Structures are given as C-alpha cells and as structure tokens.
Amino acid sequence: MQKMYDILIIGGGPAGLAAGIYGSRARLHTAILEKGALGGQAVTTGELENYPGFFDGMSGPDVMKKISTHAKHFGTEFLTGTVTRAEFSGPIKRVFTDDGQEYQAKSVILAPGAEPRQLGVEGEREFRGRGVSYCATCDADFFEELDVAVVGNGDAAIEEALYLTRFANQVTMIVPHDEGVLYGNRTSVEKALANPKLKICWNSEIVKITGDGIVQSVLLRNVKTGEPGELALDGVFIFVGTVPKTGFLKEAVALDDAGYISVNERMETNIPGVYAAGDACAKFLRQVVTAVADGAIAAVAAEKYIEETETFRRQVLEADRPVLLLFWAARVPESVAGAGIIEAQLAGREDVRLVKLHAIHDKKTAEAYGVYATPTVLLFHDGKVLNRVDGPFTAEQVAALLMGLPAAK
C-alpha cells in the first residue's frame, strides 16, 4: 500500500528542515526527501556570524546539525532520493525519484535549494576538484600555506575569502569593479580590506584557468583597458551566485525566467497545496535566516490548507445529504443577514445541512468555486454544485434554490 504523507518536503536545507519542525510539531505526518547530506549550502559555510543567536563562531555544519536534530525530535521522517518528476494536478500530490520510488502527499513544500553558478571560463571544468572549488569550508585545508584566488564580490565571496585566510598563505579576490567597490555587508567589507593576508585585484576578470594536472595560474583581463595579466596560484574558489535546482519542476509549477519558483507571501505556488521555500524561490535575499522563515511560513500555510480541504471534503463533498454552503464574513452585515435567512429557511428540516465557511479564512476554497463576494450560497449534492446565488440574497431566492433539490430517494 502506498504510504501517504500530510506534508512532503523536497530538500533538506535550512528551509526544508524548518518546515519539517513546524509540520511535525503540528502533529502532521511530515517527511523530508533529500538526495544528499542535510543542511544544503549552509553546511559549506565556515561561520554563520549573522544567524541570530550564533554570533560566537558556530559553523554552518554545526548550526544545521542542531536544526536537523530539532526536526527529528518532533518526529520528522527523513527519506533519501533524487526527485526526477512531480505531478501536482490532483488533490493527491505525487513525487517520483530516480530509484523508481513514488511518494504521495496531501501537500508538498518545495525546498530544493540552489547550487553554485559556474564562471564558464576555459579550464574551469577541467580543473574542478583539482584546484577549482566552490566551497571554502569543504576544501580550505587542502590549500594550507598555498596561494589561492576568490572570484566574486558579494557577501558569500567576501566571507569565504576571509575564511580562507586562516589556511592559505595569500588570498587574492578577483573583482571586476573599481577599487573600493564590494557588494557585501559593511562589517565583512571592512574586515576584508583590513586583512593583511587578503589582497584585491580590482577591475579584473579571469579568462582562463591553467595548469598541468592541477591549477597553477589564472589568466586575467583588465575590464577597463583590456590589458592581459597572469596570477600564479594553487587554487581558485568561485562564488558568483547560484542557480536554482528546479529542473524537475518545469512542467509542475510556475517558474520565473531564471528558473526560480514564483511564490506569494504565504509561500504558495500557482498550484493549490504546493508551496516553496528557501533559495529556489524568486526572492530578494537568500540567507539561512530567510530560508528558515520561508520554511516556517510554508509549513503553517500547508497545515491550514490540509485542514481546510479535509473539512470541506468531509462536510460538503462527502455529506450524506444536500448541503447549502454559505461563504460569509462575520463583520459584513449582509453576510450576517444572509446566514439568518438560510437558518430560518432550514428550521425544522433534516434533509439539508448548512455549512458556513469564512470567505477570508477559507480563501482557497472560495477561489476554487469562484466566490468573490459575500454572502454567496451554493447548493451541493453528491459533491457537485447544483445551483448558487452570488451576493446578498432574499428569502425567496433561498427558497427557490431549495426547490432545485433532487427528489428524496
């Protein structure tokens, strides 16, 4: 029998782990599906000085271990596999992995993360793992007392360059901008400019990585003058942004032009019951702290979605008698009056049930049935809409609606 989850989370980085904590703590059957080690890109980060509460030098792997332990404590289940395809069109979401497994869930949270963007220069692919790296935490100790370059000029590049100064003899940042222009937070920039083991090669870009089996130098070009140059070194660390790992989602959810998942403030995708969180989302800031926040929001939104859809299924779609479904809002006088009209019409009748849904709290259900005004009443029988009245209605209109009931069996 196919195992069914309440929430299936794809990706075990900070966003996925946070979603796991919130989903499991809500007593929902929650699982995280991850192809590799837990923690995502955060486990490649030396120190998380800007993560609240961990300013005293805790590493990315340490923080991620604590968060994953937290998720396990509340009962999050951990699955291993690489997702190759997803089908989200029906009420039950289906996810398929490269080892032939199929997972089903009432809701899905997409947190696949992103991976380092390649520089795209000659020699980069050839020397990957032989002097070319995208992870200072992973590889810094291989370059102890050697000379390395860091390509990039944002927060990640600056922080990783500072980390590398603990190991390397000399760290050179290759920056395409004018002297003094670094796009990192002020504290990190000040540390970088003051560090005697870190120098910056301004107005420059790498055009080729060279060596004999291992990296030995990089060929440079001045972006202003076109003048060539060469820098002898033993390693190149590249931090020029990320690419979302969303290739398996091209037919499943809406992506922007760069391949990031489009979401709203509730982390909802364009598919009901499917949410996204973390670095794979189209967003302004990609940090551990924002990924964790995304995961929490997505899990709470998924919890509300499950509660709403299951209540609706039980009370309306699978009801043992016809149902008058009233969408209303407690602070709208016409809604309160409409509820009173229906209750009066149904007084003493047991062949019809009244179900009231708040148009704001049950927004997804309202949208699914094209309800954009309150009060609106729909007549359901055997899970189908027989008739409806949109907007304020009269007792006569409700009576006419009830006249459309099928004859009792």
Catalytically active residues are 135, 138-139
The DSSP code for 367 is H
CA distances from 81 to 33, 43, 292 (A): 6, 19, 22
Helix H or strand E encompassing 127: none
Distance from C-alpha of 74 to C-alpha of 14, rounded to nearest angstrom: 16
What are the strands, taking DSSP E only, across 127-239? 132-133, 147-151, 170-174, 198-201, 204-211, 215-222, 228-232, 235-238
With DSSP H G I counted as helix, E B as strand and the rest as coil, what are the percentages for the chain, rounded to 5?
Answer: 30, 30, 40
Distance from C-alpha of 351 to C-alpha of 323, rounded to nearest angstrom: 9
Helix H or strand E encompassing 107: strand 102-110
Distance from C-alpha of 85 to C-alpha of 97, rounded to nearest angstrom: 7
Whole-angstrom Cα Rg for the chain: 28
Please state at what angle helix 155-164 crosses helix 186-194, rounded to 10 degrees.
Answer: 40
SS3 at position 403: helix
Give the bridge partners for 107, in sequence order.
7
- Per-position b or e across 191-221, b if 16+ CB within 10 A of its CB: bbeeeeebebbbbbbbeebebeeebebbbbb
Give the ranges where 186-345 is alpha helix by DSSP (H). 186-194, 288-312, 333-345
Of 78, 87, 88, nearest to 31 (Cα)?
78
Distance from C-alpha of 3 to C-alpha of 49, rounded to nearest angstrom: 41
Residue written as tokens 């969180």? 277
Give the bridge partners for 301, in sequence order.
none
**Cβ atoms of residues 93 and 86 within 8 Å:** yes
